[in-house]
Structure 1
Amino acid sequence: MNDDPFQDTPDKSNHVTIDRGNVSIKHKLDPVYFDKSKLMKLAHSNESTATPTEEETDVIALENISEHDVEIVKSQIIRQLNGNFENLLKEPTLLEKYEEIRTTFERTVVDKESHSVIILGPRSSGKTSIVTKALNDLEKSHKNEFFPIYLNSCVQVDDKAALREIARQLDVKVKEDDSDYEDDEEEGSAPKKQVSFANFEAKSIHQTFANILSVLYANKYDNEDRMPLIFVIDEFENFAIDNTQTLLYNLLDLSQNSESPICVVGLTTKMTAKESLEKRVNSRFSQRVISLVYENSLESFWNSAKLNLELDKSVIDKLDNRAYGLEWNKHITRLYNKENSLLKKIVLRNYYTVKDHKKLNNECRVPVSKLCPEFPLIRDEYFKLTDQGDGGVQGLIGSLSDLELLLVIASARWIEKYDINSINFNLAYKEYQDMIKDSNIDQSAASTTFLESRFTSNIRVHQKVWSKKVLSNSWGSLYKLGILLDPRNDTTDKRGYNYSHNISKNLIVEENQMVLLDVTLDELNGILYDQHTFKKFVRL
């Protein structure tokens, strides 16, 4: 027999045979989660008994992974990556905030109290996750005892659209109650109490609002039977931009005066959201603010991100082979700590650029979707496709918003015109203004046929020249993305990394601060396709 216990089988090179006394163990060797040195240690152990050790048992157990277990793990991890944060309670920072908002909801549902609160934090810091988790857990313990209403100012852009959305969701709830009432009657059981009002939404917005108010203010002496309402308003600050702030005023006024218990929860990324409330609105707000912050270290960032890739004990207990679930959690840690790990590279790039858990979750979906019974553990090479999708500056240009792209073009035009190396926000904004104004003049002076001029003489389509205040946020985003570089850090070694070292989340880029642009006008001309709206701006 060969001295090396690892003998390649003649049919498949990825199978090995371990000889231990009278026992020959044959299994498939996956380089991602089986370490050859570990198997060597097992093979050359001094133990002569024919009974496999615990480590060998785990290796053998992972040989027979059923497709059912793989599908459970794959679907569960995908659910967590999609925002169903099952392991939320394992994160100490979020757990504290979760308990605070959960207590607020319980007081509304159980004690029939009305509350209002703003949850403040940067994007992807867990605001929506803790609210969703709290509502889901509350639904399990108090099923059908409250009704959440979700609003998003990016979808419901004004008060009228928001009122109609509230009416629509209330109508859906009424129809569900009516169907339950009919089912109870058919079964002969005691029917539920019918809702007295069945149609909230009307053609007139005033009538719709009146319908909602008539129900919320009705039956003041029957408070025990009133169903609590929980309003969750995402992008809360956009409703505060309106001069009248009618929606916020009425919701907060209802939370104080309505006979129905009401809780108003606003989710925002703006620290000035509370200060932007009108005096009459602010006076009805409870002044309660729950703040969330980004992780301040790479280790804490990874510990939070890892929760979306790990299995909870309740999920592991559902598996036919529990060893598979336990090995999965260990494997995620090993994969991150592995030398030259692509997963760690993606985490590093995310942490030093955007600190966005959603983006990181998106980059993990494809590797998780490749799980199969033959390869039940996630492999590091699956992240190659995600890593190659960056594309450097060219990839970043394609992901910019219109305002950010216009600022990049304006900066490149100024540098090309005056043959300088650096630029600041004031110079870029001046070029942006001239560029848009010249484009509008050229469009107005364009010749048209006689027939066209008769119908379009009173129609003018011009691009808006945005204010400095609006574009200053876009300028800061370009700096954080690494398209704008700090001249002090512009060295060959530092620019060789895939993430930018000149990014500081707490740094405000001054309007007169000189920076370098990491793309030229000629490169922009090659990146933008010929039919692009801004293609005309890259030609001087």
Structure 2
Amino acid sequence: MSKRKSKEKSLPLGECISQVQAQLRQRLLQRGRPDRRCGVEAQHKHLVELLKRTVIHGESNSALIIGPRGSGKTMLLRDALEEILTVREIKDNVLQVQLNGLLQTDDRIALKDITRQLNLENVVGERVFGSIAENLSFLLEALKTGDRTSSCPVLFVLDEFDLFAHHKNQTLLYNLFDIAQSAQAPVAVIGLTCRLIHLLNSFTFSDYQEGVKDLLSLAPEFPDPQYSEKWNTNLQVLLENKSVEEVLQKQFNTSKDMRSLHMLLLLVLCRVNGSHPHLSAGDFVEAQRLRSQDSKANILHGLSVLEMCLVIAMKHLQDIYSGEPFNFQMVHNEFQKFVQRKAHSVYNFEKPVVLKAFEHLYQLELIKPMEGLSVRTQKEYRLMKLLLDHSQISEALQKYPNCPTDVRQWAMSSLS
């Protein structure tokens, strides 16, 4: 390619950044993804074969895909369906019914949705059925165009499958599986649930790194080939960087699920802009820092000096009384000792103001009332528990903006 042609295809840097953000965000948010199926290749092959036996050979089947959230259940099923439905003749002859236990909370609602998704509202009309079994059998019978081999296959996907098992008498599940075992019509019933752990990612750290490369690489059809080439070359070098490898290793050791990785990479991607057009090792380090931040310690950074003093007083009380609960009156007394010792009128707040600050700490869920206590107890004497530990308070004081020296010294004396 001549230099002239290459320049003609170049886009403004801002446009390249917009394209990168659009394409990679779409991929990381799982509306698009690489072809790599990390650790579930065998399960994918088995599921494809099972579905093919239904849509091609008219054989009824059922399967339950079990795994924790983020392990790839939905991705596995979506990939398998895409693979078997690439042939137009098959796609046009297969009906899909998508149900979710969070939405179809009883069998009546589920049957209504099945009717809607199969476009059989006009066929059912005002007909009254004596049972769910009769209703379901009628729906499937309406899809028949002849014998079993010419009947239209139906794929039932039941997400949050365990919630359907809580329906009264499990009538819908009973009838679906009964149909799958009979010769009524070719159906496949696929359930997805995170109730039990079975589908576990078995990929190695090398597979994990390759997954990161796939997720962040720009495709060949990227509008600006020059920028795309620089981006991918920079990414390759970056993934060999020791700091980046340490970040990914820590993430891998913490959680192997791809959804967690996607969230980390989204934070990395957010740092790309016109003045910072390529990823750097610092972006990964900063993203990891943000992911591992302590939310309660961050809340402390926004407290007023009075509220921070009350937190220190509570921690001091816990040290003195070995973690026993406290009430507002005890905290106020401890705070007053500090004020008198330092002889600082700047901290001499009226009691109602201090109580208001105490209640704000409760609203922020930094303290909570002890369970089983009577609500009739005066709020000044209601026993409370601090939901922070030494390390969180220490970290917050180090980063607290313009923290008065005497307050910091008081805190250190109670944290020692």
> What's the TM-score once normalised by structure 2's chain length?
0.61
Deviation at 1:420, TM superposition (A): 6.6
Structure 2 partner of 1:338: 241
Candidates 236, 239, 246, aligned match of 2:164: 239
Q: Is the 8 A contact 2:148 2:183 kept in 1?
A: no
2: distance between equivalents of 1:327 and 1:130? 33
Q: Which one has more relative contact order, counting CA pairs under 8 Å at least 6 apart?
A: 2
Q: Secondary structure at the match of 1:149?
A: strand
Candidates 190, 197, 211, aligned match of 1:265: 190
**Structure 1 residue 254 corresponds to structure 2 residue 179:** yes
Q: 1:158 and 1:336, CA in 2 relative to 1: closer, same or farther beyond 3 A?
A: farther
Partner letter of residue 362 of structure 1? Answer: M
**Structure 1 residue 419 corresponds to structure 2 residue 322:** yes
Structure 1 partner of 2:257: 356
Q: 1:205 and 1:234, CA in 2 relative to 1: closer, same or farther beyond 3 A?
A: farther
Partner letter of residue 206 of structure 2? Answer: E
Q: Is the 8 A contact 2:243 2:281 kept in 1?
A: no
Q: Secondary structure at the match of 1:230?
A: strand
Per-residue CA shift, 1:258-311, capped at 9, x if unaligned? 533111112223448xxxxxxxxxxxxxxxxxx531346433333334432234
**Structure 1 residue 302 corresponds to structure 2 residue 302:** no
Deviation at 1:124, TM superposition (A): 1.6
**Structure 1 residue 394 corresponds to structure 2 residue 312:** no
Per-residue CA shift, 1:192-226, capped at 9, x if unaligned? xxxxx636698989778754431213447443443
Structure 2 partner of 1:78: 25
2: distance between equivalents of 1:203 and 1:369? 55
Q: Secondary structure at the match of 2:68?
A: coil
2: distance between equivalents of 1:205 and 1:417? 71
**Structure 1 residue 519 corresponds to structure 2 residue 382:** no
**Structure 1 residue 214 corresponds to structure 2 residue 122:** no
Deviation at 1:115, TM superposition (A): 0.7
Deviation at 1:85, TM superposition (A): 4.9
Structure 1 partner of 2:232: 329
Q: Secondary structure at the match of 1:217?
A: helix
1: distance between equivalents of 2:28 and 2:163? 28
Q: Secondary structure at the match of 1:351?
A: helix
Structure 1 partner of 2:34: 87
Q: Secondary structure at the match of 1:86?
A: coil
Q: Which has the higher helix share?
A: 2
Q: 1:206 and 1:156, CA in 2 relative to 1: closer, same or farther beyond 3 A?
A: farther
1: distance between equivalents of 2:125 and 2:277? 51
- Comparing 107-116 with 249-258, greater Cα deviation is found at 249-258
Partner letter of residue 131 of structure 1? Answer: L
1: distance between equivalents of 2:17 and 2:40? 29
Deviation at 1:330, TM superposition (A): 3.7
Structure 1 partner of 2:359: none
Structure 2 partner of 1:99: 45
Q: 1:340 and 1:115, CA in 2 relative to 1: closer, same or farther beyond 3 A?
A: same
1: distance between equivalents of 2:287 and 2:125? 48
Deviation at 1:393, TM superposition (A): 6.0
Q: 1:416 and 1:115, CA in 2 relative to 1: closer, same or farther beyond 3 A?
A: farther
1: distance between equivalents of 2:71 and 2:294? 26
Partner letter of residue 252 of structure 1? Answer: F
2: distance between equivalents of 1:81 and 1:104? 29
Q: Secondary structure at the match of 1:245?
A: helix
Per-residue CA shift, 1:141-179, capped at 9, x if unaligned? 2332212222222333343443333333233xx6xxxxx
Deviation at 1:106, TM superposition (A): 1.7
Q: Is the 8 A contact 2:145 2:152 kept in 1?
A: no
Aligned length: 318
Structure 2 partner of 1:130: 76
User: Structure 1 vs Structure 2: percent identity of aligned residues?
Assistant: 24
Q: 1:320 and 1:446, CA in 2 relative to 1: closer, same or farther beyond 3 A?
A: closer
Q: 1:299 and 1:144, CA in 2 relative to 1: closer, same or farther beyond 3 A?
A: same
Q: 1:385 and 1:250, CA in 2 relative to 1: closer, same or farther beyond 3 A?
A: same
Partner letter of residue 185 of structure 2? Answer: S
Structure 1 partner of 2:103: 155
Q: Is the 8 A contact 1:350 1:360 kept in 2?
A: yes
Q: 1:420 and 1:70, CA in 2 relative to 1: closer, same or farther beyond 3 A?
A: closer
Partner letter of residue 300 of structure 1? Answer: D
The alignment's C-alpha RMSD in Å is 4.4
Gaps of 5+ in 2: 301-314, 325-368, 379-386, 397-416
Structure 2 partner of 1:292: 199
2: distance between equivalents of 1:397 and 1:243? 45
Q: Is the 8 A contact 1:295 1:301 kept in 2?
A: no
Deviation at 1:138, TM superposition (A): 2.8
